[in-house]
Amino acid sequence: MEKIYEIYIKTSPEALWDAITDGETRAKYNFGARVTSDWTPGSTFEMGHPEAGALLGEGENLEIDPPRRLVQTMVALWSDDVKREGATRVTWEIEPVGDSCRLTVTHDELADDANPELYGGWPMILSGLKTWLETGELLTTPGSLRYT
């Protein structure tokens, strides 16, 4: 199964790329969780927050083409239910459109009966990303504030 999310954000490709790959910025719209990596092909990444008590996710950076494309495997670790799902793949594609960008996030390699926790947070994450880049403010939905 695959889930595709598309959003338009008034920003530059470089600013969008930075918001996706900078751990501190990412935490502002990703449930408070920071992502750390050296962002080279074949390197790993980890997602976590001190209050979580353990890693929330991890994976491998398969393709890195700043500021256009990032492809990663992801293993969700925030609950036993999602751990059993194993690795999935997340592709971030950035396309300039005038003074904005179209961001397409494809989450695939999901089992047909995948736990909705794996992909259900994307609308909130992407809305938080858009809000942050366009206004400098945090989205204050309950999920967005989970680890803040």
**The domain containing residue 56 runs over which residues?**
3-135
Q: Whole-model pTM? A: 0.93
Taking only the tens of pLDDT, the chain with its 148 residues reads: 999 999 999 999 999 999 999 999 999 999 889 999 999 999 999 999 888 888 999 999 999 999 999 999 999 999 999 999 999 999 999 999 999 999 999 999 999 999 999 999 999 999 999 999 999 999 887 666 666 5
Contact 64, 41 (CB under 8 A): yes
Environment class of 50 (CB within 10 Å of its CB; exposed 0-12, middle 13-18, buried 19+): exposed
If one counts every other C-beta atom within 10 angstroms of the C-beta of residue 135, the result is 10
Q: Domain of 80: which CATH number? A: 3.30.530.20
Is 68 among the domain residues?
yes
Is 36 among the domain residues?
yes
Specify the number of domains making up the chain: 1
Is 121 among the domain residues?
yes
Is 95 among the domain residues?
yes
Report pLDDT for 146: 66
Is 123 among the domain residues?
yes
Could you give the count of Cα atoms lying within 13 Å of 40 in the half-sphere of its Cβ? 2
Q: How many helices and strands in the chain, by DSSP H and E?
A: 4, 7
Is 141 among the domain residues?
no
